[in-house]
Structures are given as structure tokens and as C-alpha cells.
């Protein structure tokens, strides 16, 4: 009887894992490394990078980044990492300067088993690491200082079965500049026409009551208090640790003074309609300026935060062998207008690694991934039909590839169950036969 490949991996891996658990990591060896890098160095230090499973873990980390799937924020998924596999997954998404990114990961079991999570900013095919962790009892939270594409990678330790819930959301990185945090108070937005469209609005207008307190939206320093023709009475403020300046205009009264250190919520002035707002209702013009000029301030203070929709795809099918019920499309992201990655024939074998909305994040037998609507997949419980093995179908492979490991050899004329298909191969099994792949 042929020993399954995973069993051959397990003994040396399990022994080495025991060694790893005794070596919690030296400060000198891992001082600047992320948790993922620390674990990688431990694998190398005990020689696991030379084993099939250790090498697969290292390769999975790299390959997952190259085939990151597209998602939109907010995003929520329920997923499962199986101990008998060597998984890693990556997603890419776009966020805007001024937003705060929030990433939560709840896992079961909550203790012991680790999932390494890393977040990068991606530009011109290079990645800059932004944050990393090996356990997320508390959310990862950080301000977005550059608009663009970000990537997140999840990878568990070897030989760990872990169920998890992932949630990615965005919110404002600054507080709202008046006490009534209401989006209805914003009446004029970035880019609106001014002076018969001779110029564009370089900020947003927040309306309120005359002499309403105008507040510091973060900790920082008041850099200037002055008057000008457009803004009237204005206050300039630099948030602590940031490369931009906040601009409060049309104040009726300035309360802050130059050089003053302020905290979030401190009163900088009172709302009015000075400057070129003399004929308009009372409001605050709020702007943000960088070294390259004004930027849209709304993402920095937007009181409207979106929450991800519920996961309706069944968690029962996660980490199960599934097949398509009809011809279906595998798409690049879990949205109706996403790019089609592949059209799958009825009976195609699929594994669901995670569920989001009414989609599964699915993996095909060749390792390619995408999203498939959950109602298009059923668990492989009953065979599609009985199949008589011919002379060319006697070899049963580990994967749908004639270069993969040979699991067993069938007898010509033997009857087996056809469970599904992929490309030019068929997944078969029976009570007295190992499940595996034969050619069509």
C-alpha cells in the first residue's frame, strides 16, 4: 500500500516543529524581522527548508503574492486553513490617503495556532511593508498616507488547522471638525465649481450654527492664525507626525494662537462667514494642504463608514471537495461585474478555501484561484456515474498531471466512481480504490 505524501512529510516535520516550539526566537537573531520572517528563519535553522513541506511553505508565501485576488473594501470572509495542506493567500485592494485601515482576524483555536499576516503598499511592482502580526487579538490599525494598491497576505504555521474570520474596513483618520458628526452638514465638496467655474473648490464646506465651536481633529500644533481675502479669519494646524497642514476658514472668531499645542477636540475658533463667505450661510471651509498642494479632505474626516455585508455562503463546504453543478464562471473578485478568469464545465472539481458574501474563494486542482458563486457548487458526495477503466486509464495520479506522484495502478476493466473532472483528467474513487486522477 502506498503511503500518502502527507504522512511521509509528517514525521520529520513534527520532530522539527517540536524543536521550534522550544526555540522561541532570539532577540539577536530576529531583532528586525517580522513574525513571518522569524518563522521562516526558524524553518531554515532546523533544516525544514530542505523538506518537501518546508519548501512548499516558503514557496507558497511568494506565489500567493503573485496571484493576489482583487477585493473591495469593506470586506469580510470566513475561511479555513487545513493542517494537511500548505496554504497561503493574498488579496489586493485600493484605499485612499486620509483613510484609516482596520484589519481584524479572529481565529479558532484562539490560542496556540498562529496565522501570520502582512500588509504591503504596492507601487511600480515593488512592495513596502506597512504592518505585520502573528496573532490579532487586537485589530491592526494604521493611517493611509498614500493612495494606491495595498496587499494583505495570510499564512498559517505548518501542521495547523485553523478556522478564521477576516474583516477589513476603512474609516476616517481624523476626527470631525464640529461636534455634530453628521454628513448632512457637508453641503459643498472637493472639486465643486467656484466663480462661474473659474476655479475649483479646494476643500469641503461644513455648515452649522453661527459661532459654533470649530474643533481640532487631531493632536498637533497651531502653525498660523491670520486673515486673508478668501478665507477671512483662518487657523492653520499641523497634526502630529503628519506631512500635511489643516486649514480652517471663514471663522467668526479665532481662539487658538500660533505655536499652541492642541489635543483632539480642543476649540480652535468659532464658525462664521468671514472672507468671501460674507453672503453665504454660516459654515466652515475645511482644507488639507501637502507639499504638492491641496488634497481632498473628505476621506480624512468622512463620518460615513461602510460595514461589510454578511457572509451567506455556507461554511460547511469550506475545505471540502466540491464540483460545479453547471457551466460557471470563476471571476477575479466577488462582484457581479468582475473579470472572468475561467469558464468551468459542469462537474469541475473545486475546493472552497473561504466564503465571502454569496461567493466562495475557490481553488482549482492546478492551484489557480478566483471567486465562484456559492450556489454553483455542491459537495462531492455521490458519483456522477460509474466508469470502466480502459488500458490508458490505469495510472491514478495524485493531481491532474501525468508528472505528479503515482498513487496506484488500476486493472483494465475495473469499475470506479467518476467524481468530477478537470481539464483532460477525471477524479475517480471507489470503496476499494484510493481517490485520484486518471486521464479521460
Whether residue 310 is contained in a domain is answered as no
- Assess whether 191 and 167 both reside in one domain: no
The answer to whether residue 19 scores a pLDDT higher than 80 is no
Three-class DSSP labels, 221-290? EEEEEEEECCCEEEEEEEECCCCCEEEEEEEEEECCCCCCEECCCCEEEEEECCHHHCCCCCEEEEEEEE
What percent of the chain is predicted at pLDDT more than 90? Answer: 80
**One domain, residues 166 and 30:** yes
State which of 139, 172, 205 marks the end of a domain. Answer: 172
pLDDT level of residue 33 (50, 70, 90 thresholds): confident
Q: In this predicted structure, what is the pLDDT of residue 23?
A: 38
Confidence band of 9 (pLDDT split at 50, 70, 90): very low
- pLDDT in the model for residue 184: 80
Do 218 and 348 sit in the same domain of this protein?
Answer: no
* Sequence-distant contacts of 5-13: CB under 8 A, at least 24 apart: 5/52, 5/398, 5/405, 6/84, 8/52, 9/51, 9/52, 9/53, 10/159, 12/48, 12/51, 13/48, 13/51, 13/53, 13/54, 13/158, 13/159
Query: For the domain that residue 157 is a member of, what is the CATH number?
Result: 2.60.120.380
Q: For 39-69, what is each residue's pLDDT tens digit?
A: 999 999 999 999 999 999 999 999 999 999 9
Q: pLDDT tens across 98-107, in order?
A: 999 999 999 9
User: What is the reported pLDDT for 3?
Assistant: 40
Given a cut of 80, whether residue 30 has pLDDT beyond it is no
**Residue for grid cell 511600480:** 124
Eight-class DSSP state of 157: P
The tens digit of pLDDT for each residue in 366-396 reads 999 999 999 999 999 899 999 999 999 999 9
Q: What is the pLDDT of residue 217?
A: 98
178 part of a folded domain: no
The answer to whether residues 260 and 132 belong to one domain is: no
Domain that holds residue 338: 315-379
Is 147 found in the same domain as 103?
A: yes
Of 62-66, 181-185, 210-214, 249-253, which gets the smallest average pLDDT?
A: 181-185
Pair (20, 168) in one structural domain: yes
* 78, part of any domain: yes
CATH number at residue 411: 2.30.30.40
Q: What is the pLDDT of residues 127-163, one digit of tens each?
A: 999 999 987 667 899 999 999 999 999 999 999 999 9
* % residues pLDDT > 70 (the chain): 90
Domain C-terminal end among 379, 412, 428:
379
List residues bridging with 78 in a β-sheet: 165, 355
Q: Which residue has the higher pLDDT, 32 or 436?
A: 436
For residue 348, pLDDT beyond 90: yes
Give domain status of residue 177, yes or no: no
Judge whether 394 lies within some domain: yes
Q: Say if residues 119 and 130 touch (Cβ distance below 8 Å).
A: yes
Summarize pLDDT for 305-340 with one digit per residue, the tens: 899 999 999 999 999 999 999 999 999 999 888 999
Q: Do 30 and 79 have their domain in common? A: yes
Task: Give the model's pLDDT for residue 387.
Answer: 93
22 and 155 share a domain?
A: yes
Q: Which CATH number goes with the domain that contains 273? A: 2.70.70.10
Q: Which one is predicted more confidently, 358 or 337?
A: 358
Mean pLDDT to the nearest integer, 280-295: 94
Please tell me the total count of domains within the chain: 4
Question: Do residue 329 and residue 435 come from a single domain?
Answer: no
Residues 52 and 145 in one domain: yes
Clarify whether residues 17 and 154 are in a common domain.
yes
Q: Does 19 share its domain with 96?
A: yes
307 lies in a domain?
no
Mean pLDDT, the chain, integer: 89
pLDDT at residue number 193: 53
Q: Which of 74, 98, 101, 71 is nearest to 302 (CA)?
A: 98
The whole-angstrom separation of Cα 389 and Cα 411 is 7
Q: Over range 428-435, report the average pLDDT.
A: 80
Amino acid at each position: 500500500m502506498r503511503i500518502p505524501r502527507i504522512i511521509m512529510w509528517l514525521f520529520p516535520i513534527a520532530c522539527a516543529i517540536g524543536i521550534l516550539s522550544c526555540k522561541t526566537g532570539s532577540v539577536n537573531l530576529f531583532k528586525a524581522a517580522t513574525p513571518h520572517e522569524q518563522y521562516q528563519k526558524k524553518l531554515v535553522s532546523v533544516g525544514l527548508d530542505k523538506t518537501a513541506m518546508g519548501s512548499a511553505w516558503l514557496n507558497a508565501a511568494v506565489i500567493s503574492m503573485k496571484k493576489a485576488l482583487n477585493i473591495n473594501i469593506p470586506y469580510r470572509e470566513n475561511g479555513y486553513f487545513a493542517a494537511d495542506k500548505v496554504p497561503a493567500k493574498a488579496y489586493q485592494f485600493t484605499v485612499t490617503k486620509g483613510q484609516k485601515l482596520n484589519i481584524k482576524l479572529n481565529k479558532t483555536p484562539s490560542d496556540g495556532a498562529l496565522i501570520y499576516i502582512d500588509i504591503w503598499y504596492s507601487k511600480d511592482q515593488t512592495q513596502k511593508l506597512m504592518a505585520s502580526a502573528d496573532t490579532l487579538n487586537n485589530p491592526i490599525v494604521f493611517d493611509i498616507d498614500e493612495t494606491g494598491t495595498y496587499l494583505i497576505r495570510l499564512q498559517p504555521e505548518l501542521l495547523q488547522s485553523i478556522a478564521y474570520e477576516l474583516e477589513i474596513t476603512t474609516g476616517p483618520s481624523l476626527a470631525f471638525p464640529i461636534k455634530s458628526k453628521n454628513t448632512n452638514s457637508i453641503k459643498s465638496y472637493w472639486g465643486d465649481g467656484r466663480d462661474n467655474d473659474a476655479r475649483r473648490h479646494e476643500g469641503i464646506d461644513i455648515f452649522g450654527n453661527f459661532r459654533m465651536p470649530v474643533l481640532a481633529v487631531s493632536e498637533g500644533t497651531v502653525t498660523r492664525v491670520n486673515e486673508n481675502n478668501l478665507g477671512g479669519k483662518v487657523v492653520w494646524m499641523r497634526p502630529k507626525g503628519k506631512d500635511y497642514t489643516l486649514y480652517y476658514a471663514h471663522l467668526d472668531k479665532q481662539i487658538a494662537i500660533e505655536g499652541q499645542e492642541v489635543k483632539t477636540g480642543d476649540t480652535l475658533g468659532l464658525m462664521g462667514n468671514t472672507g468671501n463667505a460674507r453672503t453665504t450661510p454660516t459654515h466652515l471651509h475645511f482644507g488639507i494642504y501637502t507639499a504638492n498642494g491641496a488634497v481632498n479632505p473628505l476621506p480624512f474626516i468622512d463620518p460615513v463608514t461602510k460595514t461589510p455585508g454578511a457572509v451567506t455562503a455556507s461554511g460547511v463546504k469550506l475545505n471540502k471537495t466540491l464540483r460545479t453543478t453547471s457551466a460557471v464562471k470563476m471571476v477575479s473578485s466577488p462582484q457581479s461585474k468582475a473579470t472572468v478568469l475561467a469558464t468551468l464545465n459542469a462537474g469541475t472539481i473545486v475546493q472552497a478555501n473561504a466564503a465571502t458574501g454569496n461567493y466562495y474563494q475557490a481553488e482549482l486542482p492546478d492551484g489557480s484561484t478566483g471567486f465562484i458563486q456559492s450556489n454553483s457548487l455542491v459537495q462531492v458526495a455521490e458519483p456522477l456515474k460509474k466508469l470502466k477503466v480502459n488500458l490508458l486509464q490505469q495510472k491514478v495520479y495524485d493531481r491532474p498531471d501525468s508528472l505528479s506522484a503515482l498513487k496506484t495502478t488500476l486493472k483494465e476493466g475495473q469499475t470506479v466512481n467518476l467524481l468530477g473532472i478537470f481539464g483532460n483528467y477525471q477524479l475517480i474513487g471507489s470503496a476499494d480504490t484510493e481517490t485520484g486522477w486518471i486521464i479521460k
